[in-house]
């Protein structure tokens, strides 16, 4: 749950859904387990034995629990590579934005786009100034065409330590763990710069040198944007207290039905945004009709059957559009090309493997390929 959303906008339907989720245990009072812990509705808790919590561990029907051998110090060191918000696990090192820019271009840009703008199904790492982007988390979709919140590293993530750890252990995708600590610092510095993040009041610009000491001073724009607060040694207890106080969410009461009296009312954000849109916001939910694009004779069959081999020369077949390759083939005469296409040749099966095609349809496909390669 985000503080940016919390009780700013809630429809009757949303409130009912939240209240229902919060009331899976029915209208009874919250259950209390033998250890005195209140149970969050829909959840469970287990006794703690010797500092360990798990139903398997405390199961008295088991005579012996075999945990295997103890891990060696080197094994623990190899596995314990996460970086925590308080700096635990963060190594010494440094890197500047300029070096990070070069690394990003060579190692990251092909997936995450120029300047971290995203693309090709990979997430964007920035959407402009992170402090302005953080404000977008208050956006609520009052209508189908409204802008929703912008979620990306700069404006959404509460901690920068996750970025350092993820880059170091998981990136670049084809070769994780290949970056040095200094290269990781440089890449993090670059990503902070394109988000226009400030560290201790100083903008991370092109000349900025990031090291461990400066990294620990980073406060992300959305640091305090989530609730309940799960940080610290009392995080679990804080969450339990939060969710067992029903005034924190829904309509503030435990209920499964008839949770509202009178007509449901939609609450909006007071004094924010534009209300008198010209033209008015569309409420249509259907997609526009796709325009039909006329195709040449044989084109659809080529795309469905032949393009897998003839779109490029990688498969050893002449690529459509490669004029030189087709000139050498046509030297044998078009009739010979028809015969080879219908009967197959070398690695090409008869009719490209689509035996449902007639000879006339196959000739039509060949004509299309030849004409598209002139």
Q: Which pLDDT score, from 0 to 100, does residue 246 have?
A: 75
| pTM, 2 dp | 0.55
Half-sphere exposure (CA, 13 Å, Cβ side) for 363? 8
Domain boundaries in the chain?
84-215, 299-371
pLDDT in tens, the chain (374 residues): 555 443 333 332 332 233 223 333 333 344 555 456 666 655 556 666 666 665 555 555 555 666 778 889 998 888 888 999 999 999 999 999 999 999 999 989 888 988 888 877 788 899 889 998 888 887 777 777 777 788 889 999 999 999 999 999 999 988 889 999 999 999 999 999 999 999 999 999 999 999 999 999 999 999 988 888 888 788 888 888 888 787 777 666 667 777 666 665 554 444 444 555 556 656 666 666 766 666 788 888 888 888 878 888 777 788 888 888 888 888 888 888 888 888 888 768 888 878 888 988 888 988 888 888 88
Reported residue count of the chain is: 374
pLDDT at 138: 79
Q: Which CATH number fits domain 84-215: 1.10.760.10, 3.30.300.30, 1.10.300.10, 1.10.40.60?
A: 1.10.760.10
The Cα 265–Cα 303 span in angstroms is 53
Architecture of domain 299-371 in this structure: Orthogonal Bundle (1.10)
| C-alpha closest to that of 344 among 357, 331, 325 | 357
- pLDDT digits 0-9 by tens, 308-345: 788 887 777 888 888 888 888 888 888 888 888 888 88
Coil, strand or helix at 191: helix
Token code pair at residue 262: 């009178």
Q: How far apart are CA 191 and CA 188, in angstroms?
A: 5
- Best CA proximity match to 22, nearest among 315, 193, 230, 253: 253
Q: Judge whether 84-215 and 299-371 match in fold.
A: yes
Using one digit for the tens of pLDDT, what is the confidence trace for 85-95? 999 999 999 99
* Spatial separation of the C-alpha atoms in residues 371 and 297, rounded to whole Å: 11
pLDDT tens readout for residues 56-90: 555 555 556 667 788 899 988 888 889 999 999 99
């Amino acid at each position: 749950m985000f503080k940016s959303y919390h009780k700013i906008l809630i429809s009757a339907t949303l409130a009912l859904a939240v209240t229902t989720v919060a009331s899976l245990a029915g209208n009874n009072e919250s259950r209390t387990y033998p250890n005195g812990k209140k149970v969050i509705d829909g959840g469970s808790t287990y006794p703690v034995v010797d500092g360990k919590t798990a139903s398997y561990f405390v199961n008295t029907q088991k005579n012996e629990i075999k945990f295997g051998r103890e891990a060696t110090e080197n094994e623990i060191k190899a596995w314990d590579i996460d970086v925590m918000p308080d700096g635990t696990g963060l190594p010494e090192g440094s890197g500047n934005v300029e070096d990070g820019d070069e690394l990003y271009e060579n190692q990251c840009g092909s997936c995450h786009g120029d300047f971290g703008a995203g693309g090709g199904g990979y997430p964007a790492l920035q959407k402009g100034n992170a402090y302005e982007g953080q404000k977008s988390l208050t956006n609520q979709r009052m209508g189908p065409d409204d802008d929703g919140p912008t979620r990306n590293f700069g404006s959404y993530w509460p901690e920068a330590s996750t970025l350092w750890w993820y880059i170091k252990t998981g990136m670049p995708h084809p070769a994780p763990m290949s970056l040095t600590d200094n290269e990781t610092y440089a890449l993090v510095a670059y990503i902070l710069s394109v988000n226009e993040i400030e560290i201790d009041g100083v903008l991370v610009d092109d000349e900025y040198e990031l090291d461990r000491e400066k990294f620990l001073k980073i406060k992300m724009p959305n640091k305090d944007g989530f609730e309940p607060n799960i940080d610290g040694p009392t995080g679990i207890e804080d969450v339990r207290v939060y969710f067992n106080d029903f005034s924190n969410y829904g309509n503030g009461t435990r209920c499964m039905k008839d949770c509202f009296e009178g007509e449901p009312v939609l609450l909006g954000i007071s004094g924010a945004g534009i209300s008198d849109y010209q033209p008015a916001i569309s409420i249509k939910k259907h997609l526009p009709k796709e325009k039909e694009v006329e195709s040449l004779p044989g084109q659809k069959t080529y795309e469905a059957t032949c393009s897998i081999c003839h779109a490029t020369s990688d498969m050893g077949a002449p690529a459509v559009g490669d004029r030189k390759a087709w000139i050498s083939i046509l030297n044998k005469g078009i009739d010979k090309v028809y015969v080879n296409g219908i009967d197959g040749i070398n690695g090409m099966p008869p009719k490209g493997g689509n035996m449902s095609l007639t000879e006339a349809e196959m000739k039509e496909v060949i004509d299309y390929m030849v004409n598209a390669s002139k």
